[in-house]
Copies of this chain bind each other. A is one copy, B any other.
């Protein structure tokens, strides 16, 4: 099975924080890793319940918070209300082009944009740690 690396990261993190391992967190982590989508907590909860129907939504929220803390996931918010969680570890950083018609999105990155952000930050004496760039427009399918 894959994901050993991610599981190791998570388990080390949990141990280092003085927390304990649990079956539920393992299930949630694996389901998250297997699903290459930008899921909401609620959507992930539905998937996890297929394996273990007794898993509570609160535990899903708690675990997602841990996943973000240890660098396996990252929060993302398109226009809508709910936070979405995307894979972070082992994934190239990317920005998002969100279609205002169909709601789908494309992931893309321009290394020059990244560099220029650093330059902009330096200009205002800011230590840059990260960024979120959301571009809105109409995708190729919806243009037709």
Contacts and interface: CB of A to CB of B under 8 A. Distances in A.
A124 B123 CA distance: 31
- Max chain B Cβ within 10 angstroms of own Cβ: one of A124, A126, A143: A126
Interface in A112-130: 112-113, 116-117, 119-121, 123-130
A124 B110 CA distance: 12
A129 B133 contact: no
Interface stretch (A6-14, A47-55, A134-142): A134-142
B140 A136 contact: no
Interface residues of A, number: 34
Contact of A113 (B100, B108, B113): B113
Nearest to A79: B75
B135 A121 contact: yes
A131 interface: yes
B131 A131 contact: no
- Max chain B Cβ within 10 angstroms of own Cβ: one of A77, A121, A139: A121
Interface in A63-110: 77, 95, 97, 99-100, 106, 108, 110
A132 interface: yes
6 contacts: A97-B124, A110-B116, A126-B137, A126-B138, A130-B137, A132-B134
